[in-house]
Amino acid sequence: MAEEFLTFRGIHKTFGQTVALAGVNLDVFPGQVHVLAGENGAGKSTLVKILMGVEKADRGEIRWKGRMHRPHSPIDSLRSGIAMIYQELNLALHLPVHANVFLGREIRSAGVVRESEQKQRTRELFRMLGADIDPTLPTRQLGIAQRQLVEIARAIGADAELIVMDEPTAALSEQESENLFRVVDSLRQRGVGIIYISHHLEEFERIGDMVTVLRDGHRVWQGPAAETSPNEIIRHMVGRTIEDLYPKRQPQFGPVLLRLKNLNSPNGTKNASLEVRAGEIVGIAGLVGGGRTEMLRALFGLDSADVEEFTLGDVRIRVPSPHRMLHHGVGFLSEDRGGEGLAQNLSVAVNMTLSAPEQISRWGVLSHTRRERVSEALIERFRIKAKSPSQAVRELSGGNQQKVALARLICADAKVLLLDEPTRGIDVGAKNEIYRLMNRLAEEGRGILFVSSYLPEVLGMADSVYVMCRGTISRKFRVEELDQERVMALATGVEQDQSPHGRPLPQGEEGSQPCARIVSNGPSFNKF
Ligand SMILES: Nc1ncnc2c1ncn2[C@@H]1O[C@H](COP(=O)(O)OP(=O)(O)OP(=O)(O)O)[C@@H](O)[C@H]1O
Ligand SMILES: [Mg+2]
Burial of 515 (C-beta count, 10 Å sphere; 0-12/13-18/19+):
middle
Q: What counts of helices (H) and strands (E) characterise the chain?
A: 16, 25
CB contact at 8 A, 147 and 91: yes
pLDDT given at position 340: 65
Cα–Cα dist 384/373, whole Å: 15
In this structure, are 112 and 11 located in the same domain? yes
| pTM confidence score | 0.81
Ligand 1 pocket test target in 35, 45, 238 with most atoms within 8 Å of CB: 45
In this structure, are 175 and 294 located in the same domain? no
pLDDT given at position 315: 94
In this structure, are 45 and 182 located in the same domain? yes
Q: Which of 388, 411, 434 is the last residue of a domain?
A: 411
Ligand 1: which residue has its CA nearest to atom 29? 41
Those residues with Cβ within 8 angstroms of residue 380's Cβ, 6 or more apart along the chain or in another chain: none
Cα–Cα dist 467/168, whole Å: 24
Sign of CA dihedral 104, 105, 110, 114: negative
- The size of the chain, in residues, is 528
Cα–Cα dist 254/446, whole Å: 9
The secondary structure of residue 282, as a DSSP letter, is E
Q: Of the spans 192-196, 200-204, 244-248, which averages the highest pLDDT? A: 192-196
Q: What is the pLDDT of residues 27-55, one digit of tens each?
A: 999 999 999 999 989 999 999 999 999 99
Cα–Cα dist 298/177, whole Å: 27
pLDDT given at position 507: 42
CA–centroid distance, residue 162 to ligand 1 (Å) = 23
Ligand 1: which residue has its CA nearest to atom 6? 395
Q: Report the C-alpha dihedral over residues 268, 270, 273, 276, rounded to 10 degrees.
A: -10
In this structure, are 60 and 146 located in the same domain? yes
Q: What is the pLDDT of residues 390-414, one digit of tens each?
A: 999 999 987 888 889 888 888 888 8
Q: What is the pLDDT of residues 203-229, one digit of tens each?
A: 999 999 999 999 999 999 999 999 999
Give the distance from CA 374 to its chain's centroid: 26
The secondary structure of residue 13, as a DSSP letter, is E
The secondary structure of residue 141, as a DSSP letter, is G
Nearest ligand to the CA of 401 is 1
pLDDT given at position 338: 64
Cα–Cα dist 486/495, whole Å: 8
Residue at 1 is within a domain: no
pLDDT given at position 406: 85
Residue 1 has pLDDT above 80, yes or no: no
In this structure, are 269 and 301 located in the same domain? yes
Q: Average of pLDDT values for 95-120?
A: 91
In this structure, are 16 and 74 located in the same domain? yes
CA–centroid distance, residue 403 to ligand 2 (Å) = 14
pLDDT given at position 177: 87
In this structure, are 284 and 396 located in the same domain? no
Q: Average of pLDDT values for 357-370?
A: 80
- State the CB neighbour count (10 A cutoff) for residue 193: 23
Residue at 188 is within a domain: yes
CA–centroid distance, residue 400 to ligand 1 (Å) = 9
Q: Which of 206, 238, 270 is the last residue of a domain?
A: 238
Residue at 127 is within a domain: yes
Backbone angles phi and psi of 230, in degrees to 5: -55, -40
In this structure, are 318 and 346 located in the same domain? no
Which position has the higher pLDDT, 142 or 8? 8
CB contact at 8 A, 328 and 282: no
CB contact at 8 A, 6 and 204: no
Residue at 422 is within a domain: yes
Ligand 1 pocket test target in 219, 385, 387, 395 with most atoms within 8 Å of CB: 395
Residue 237 has pLDDT above 80, yes or no: yes
pLDDT given at position 519: 29
Residue at 505 is within a domain: yes
CA–centroid distance, residue 280 to ligand 2 (Å) = 32
Those residues with Cβ within 8 angstroms of residue 383's Cβ, 6 or more apart along the chain or in another chain: 403, 429, 430, 433
Which position has the higher pLDDT, 146 or 252? 252
Cα–Cα dist 440/247, whole Å: 11
Which position has the higher pLDDT, 222 or 427? 222
Ligand 1: which residue has its CA nearest to atom 12? 20
Where are the alpha helices (H) located in 73-201, listed in sequence order? 74-79, 97-101, 115-129, 144-157, 174-189
pLDDT given at position 508: 40
Residue 12 has pLDDT above 80, yes or no: yes
Q: What is the pLDDT of residues 320-353, one digit of tens each?
A: 999 999 889 999 998 876 666 788 999 999 999 9
pLDDT given at position 526: 28
CB contact at 8 A, 393 and 88: no
CA nearest 137: which of 129, 145, 147? 147
The secondary structure of residue 93, as a DSSP letter, is T
Q: Average of pLDDT values for 370-379?
A: 91
pLDDT band, very low/low/confident/very high, at 59 (cuts 50, 70, 90): very high
β-sheet with 256-264: strand ranges across: 272-277, 256-264, 306-312, 315-316
pLDDT given at position 339: 62
In this structure, are 126 and 226 located in the same domain? yes
In this structure, are 67 and 108 located in the same domain? yes
Residue at 336 is within a domain: no
Cα–Cα dist 306/21, whole Å: 51
Angle value at C-alpha 289, between 196 and 442, nearest 5 degrees? 85
From residue 202, alpha-carbon distances to 9, 35, 440 in Å are 28, 12, 27
Ligand 1 pocket test target in 12, 13, 18, 220 with most atoms within 8 Å of CB: 18
Residue at 334 is within a domain: no
Which atom from ligand 1 is nearest to the alpha carbon of 396? 31
From residue 12, alpha-carbon distances to 55, 82, 427 in Å are 11, 21, 23
Residue at 353 is within a domain: yes
Q: Average of pLDDT values for 122-132?
A: 90
- Give the residues across from 258 on adjacent strands: 276, 312
Ligand 1: which residue has its CA nearest to atom 24? 40
CB contact at 8 A, 60 and 12: yes
Backbone angles phi and psi of 151, in degrees to 5: -60, -40
Q: Average of pLDDT values for 181-208?
A: 92
Ligand 1 pocket test target in 8, 12, 14, 15 with most atoms within 8 Å of CB: 15
CA–centroid distance, residue 28 to ligand 2 (Å) = 19
In this structure, are 246 and 363 located in the same domain? no
Backbone angles phi and psi of 387, in degrees to 5: -65, -45
Total domain count for the chain? 3
Q: Note down the domain range covering 72.
A: 6-238
pLDDT band, very low/low/confident/very high, at 368 (cuts 50, 70, 90): confident
3-state SS assignment for residue 434 = helix
Mean pLDDT, the chain, rounded, equals 87
Q: What is the pLDDT of residues 449-483, one digit of tens each?
A: 999 988 889 999 999 999 999 899 999 999 999 99
| Domain CATH number, residue 157 | 3.40.50.300
CA nearest 489: which of 175, 130, 127, 131? 175
Cα–Cα dist 47/70, whole Å: 13
Those residues with Cβ within 8 angstroms of residue 392's Cβ, 6 or more apart along the chain or in another chain: 344, 345, 346, 347, 348
CA–centroid distance, residue 398 to ligand 2 (Å) = 5
Residue 11 has pLDDT above 90, yes or no: yes
CA–centroid distance, residue 212 to ligand 1 (Å) = 17
Ligand 1: which residue has its CA nearest to atom 20? 41
pLDDT given at position 502: 38
pLDDT band, very low/low/confident/very high, at 175 (cuts 50, 70, 90): confident
Neighbouring C-alpha atoms within 13 Å toward the C-beta of 131:
28
In this structure, are 162 and 262 located in the same domain? no
Cα–Cα dist 454/421, whole Å: 9
Q: Which of 382, 411, 440 is the last residue of a domain?
A: 411
Q: What is the pLDDT of residues 489-518, one digit of tens each?
A: 998 888 887 655 433 444 444 433 322 222
CB contact at 8 A, 387 and 373: no
Residue 415 has pLDDT above 80, yes or no: yes
Q: Which residues line ligand 1 (CB under 6 A)?
A: 15, 18, 20, 38, 40-46, 87, 385, 395-400, 427
Cα–Cα dist 497/27, whole Å: 50
Ligand 1: which residue has its CA nearest to atom 4? 395
Cα–Cα dist 72/243, whole Å: 45
Cα–Cα dist 185/207, whole Å: 7
Ligand 1: which residue has its CA nearest to atom 1? 395
CB contact at 8 A, 438 and 448: yes
Contacts 24+ apart (CB under 8 A), 479-483: 479/283, 483/459
Residue type, 250: Q
